[in-house]
Amino acid sequence: MSEQELLEDFKESLGRACLEFVELAASNTFGLGIDIQLISELNLESSTFIERNFTLAEIEYCRNAQSPAASFSARWAAKEAVAKAMCNFNLKAGRLSKDMGDPMIEVEILPASTKAPELRLYGYAEETAKRLGISEIKISLTHSGIYAAAVALAVGSAEFCSAEF
């Protein structure tokens, strides 16, 4: 792919995410998160990093992908974007994890039957989303050239928010 084609692909992915954002904004409370990851900066040589932050299913999927580094990086960017979206949903929420530096393994991103990414939350991440009143988190991932990026949109109703942080 040429540099121009990579840029167009990236713009298209961001455009789709922005369109969903605008459609949902009129009737819901939302939080938006975005993250960009330089693929070469992700420490894939560290089994500790991989095992702390990715589920076994994610590890298997990424290792079997055409570009494992890009696949891991896109998922890492998505996990970071999800954390930002949840914090932006309710600014009193604080952090997604109990402590800074906690593993992101409770945020799982795998392809669904449609190949679109599917997000699952577990443990403290799932509890936090419920307390905040988040009913859904939409995600979009992309990787082109040396970068991976993701956008996350947390949607729900603030009137159901029971979070007191």
pLDDT digits (tens, 9 = 90+) for 3-29: 778 777 777 777 777 666 666 555 557
30, part of any domain: yes
H or E element, residue 96: none
Distance CA 73, CA 36 (A): 9
pLDDT beneath 70: ranges in the chain: 18-28, 91-101, 158-165
Model-wide pTM > 0.75:
yes
What's the CA angle centered on 4, arms 19 and 65, to 5 degrees? 75
Which domain, by its residues, includes 128? 3-160
**Residues ≥6 apart with Cβ < 8 Å to 163:** 90, 92, 93, 128, 131, 132, 133
82, part of any domain: yes
Please give the tally of structural domains in the chain.
1
Give the CATH number of the domain where residue 155 resides: 3.90.470.20
Q: Give residue 99's pLDDT.
A: 55
Q: Give residue 81's pLDDT.
A: 95
106 and 126 in contact (C-beta within 8 Å)? yes
126, part of any domain: yes
Residues across the chain: 165
Strands 29-38 and 147-156: antiparallel
Q: Give residue 114's pLDDT.
A: 77
DSSP H helix total and E strand total for the chain:
5, 5
**Residues ≥6 apart with Cβ < 8 Å to 126:** 106
Phi, psi dihedral angles at 28 (to 5 degrees): -140, 165
165, part of any domain: no
154, part of any domain: yes
